[in-house]
C-alpha cells in the first residue's frame, strides 16, 4: 500500500458515496448534510453543485450526467447545466427518512436504500430503480441501508445494514435483479464501530469502511479477513477505485475524531478495482 494522500478539496461534514466516472476521468462524491455533490477532475480541478437536498449515492448515467439517490427519491443531475430532474419518488410519505448508499448492477439497475434521520432500527428499506424508472421495494426492516456490491460473476450481492454489524450476501439473479437467501458474509465492527460503504475489487475481494473504526477492511470472497488499512479519521464512510488503471483507492470520511476527519484520501493498495456500472435509464 502506498502512503495515503489527503487530497486538496474542502473537508466534508459527512463525505460519502465516492464514484469514479471513467468516461470523464473524474471522481464524484457527496457531502450529505451540506447538500453538495463534488467532482475532482484528473487535472485537480474541483467543482461542487448544491442539490438542495441530501444525496446519499451517486452513479454515472449511460447517456451522460449522473443518477442520484437523494432525500425523497432518484434524481438525474446534468452537471453541465446544474439541472436536477426527478426520475422516481421513494418514500415521499415518510418525511423522517432519506435515501442513503447505493450502486448499479451491470444491467443498469440502481439499488439504493433508505434510513431514518434519527437512525431508528427497522425504519428503512432497500429499493431497485429499473431503466424504465419503475421502483421496486426489495427489502424491508432496514436500519441504515449502506454499501452494495456484486461478486465478479454477479451471482451474489453484498449488502450492509450498518446496525447489524455485518456484511450480508444474497443470491442474485442478474436477469431479473431479484435477491434471495440472505446470510452473513462477514461480521464487521461492534458497538459504536459499524460497517458503512463498500467496494469490490478485481480479485473479488470486498473492501468495507468502518465508521467509528478508523479503517478499511478487506475480505476475501469466502468472507475471511485479508487486510486492514488504517485511516487517520475515525469515521470512514466509503471507498471507490479509480484512476485510468483503476488502481487508486479513494476514501471518504466524515468530521469527527482524527486529524483527517472529513477529508478525502487516496492511495494505491496493490489491488485493482472494477469500473462503476452506469444507470441505464
Q: What is the CATH number of the domain that holds 67?
A: 2.120.10.30
DSSP secondary-structure letter at 1? -
DSSP secondary-structure letter at 201? B
Range of the domain at 14: 5-267
**pLDDT value for 140:** 98
- The per-residue pLDDT for range 217-272, each reduced to its tens digit, is 999 999 999 999 999 999 999 999 999 999 999 999 999 999 999 999 999 999 99
Please indicate, yes or no, if residue 279 is contained in any of the structural domains. no
Residue 69, H or E segment: strand 66-70
CA distance 40 to 45: 6
Please indicate, yes or no, if residue 60 is contained in any of the structural domains. yes
Task: Note if 196 is an active site residue.
Answer: yes
The C-alpha torsion from 168 through 166 and 265 to 221, rounded to 10°, is: -50
pTM above 0.85, yes or no: yes
- The catalytic residue among 118, 196, 203, 222 is 196
State which residues of the chain have pLDDT below 70.
none
CA distance 220 to 8: 32
Please indicate, yes or no, if residue 224 is contained in any of the structural domains. yes
Please indicate, yes or no, if residue 274 is contained in any of the structural domains. no
**pLDDT value for 2:** 75
CB 157 within 8 A of CB 182: no
**pLDDT value for 46:** 97
Please indicate, yes or no, if residue 30 is contained in any of the structural domains. yes
Please indicate, yes or no, if residue 217 is contained in any of the structural domains. yes
Q: How many structural domains does the chain have?
A: 1
Please indicate, yes or no, if residue 121 is contained in any of the structural domains. yes
At residue 162, φ and ψ (nearest 5 deg) are -55, -35
Amino acid at each position: 500500500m502506498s502512503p495515503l494522500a489527503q487530497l486538496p478539496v474542502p473537508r466534508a461534514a459527512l463525505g460519502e458515496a465516492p464514484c469514479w466516472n471513467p468516461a470523464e476521468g473524474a471522481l464524484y462524491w457527496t457531502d450529505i448534510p451540506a447538500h453538495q455533490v463534488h467532482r475532482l477532475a484528473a487535472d485537480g480541478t474541483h467543482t461542487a453543485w448544491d442539490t438542495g437536498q441530501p444525496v446519499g449515492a451517486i452513479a454515472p448515467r449511460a447517456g451522460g450526467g449522473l443518477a442520484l439517490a437523494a432525500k425523497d427519491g432518484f434524481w438525474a443531475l446534468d452537471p453541465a447545466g446544474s439541472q436536477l430532474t426527478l426520475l422516481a419518488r421513494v418514500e415521499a410519505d415518510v418525511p423522517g427518512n432519506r435515501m442513503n448508499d447505493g450502486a448499479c448492477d451491470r444491467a443498469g439497475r440502481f439499488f439504493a436504500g433508505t434510513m431514518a434521520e434519527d437512525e431508528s432500527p427497522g425504519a428503512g428499506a432497500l429499493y431497485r430503480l429499473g431503466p424504465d424508472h419503475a421502483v421496486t421495494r426489495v427489502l424491508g426492516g432496514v436500519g441504515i441501508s449502506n454499501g452494495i456490491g456484486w461478486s465478479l460473476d454477479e451471482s451474489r450481492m453484498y449488502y450492509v445494514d450498518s446496525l447489524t454489524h455485518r456484511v450480508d450476501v444474497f443470491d442474485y439473479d442478474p436477469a431479473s435483479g431479484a435477491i434471495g437467501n440472505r446470510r452473513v458474509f462477514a461480521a464487521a465492527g461492534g458497538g459504536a464501530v459499524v460497517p458503512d460503504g463498500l467496494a469490490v475489487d478485481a480479485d473479488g475481494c470486498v473492501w468495507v469502511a468502518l465508521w467509528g473504526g478508523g479503517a478499511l477492511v478487506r475480505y476475501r470472497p469466502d468472507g475471511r479477513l485479508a487486510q486492514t488499512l488504517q485511516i487517520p479519521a475515525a469515521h470512514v464512510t466509503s471507498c471507490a477505485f479509480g484512476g485510468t488503471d483503476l488502481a487508486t483507492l479513494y476514501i471518504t470520511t466524515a468530521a469527527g475524531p482524527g486529524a483527517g476527519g472529513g477529508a478525502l484520501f487516496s492511495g494505491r493498495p496493490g489491488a485493482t478495482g472494477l469500473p462503476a456500472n452506469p444507470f441505464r435509464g
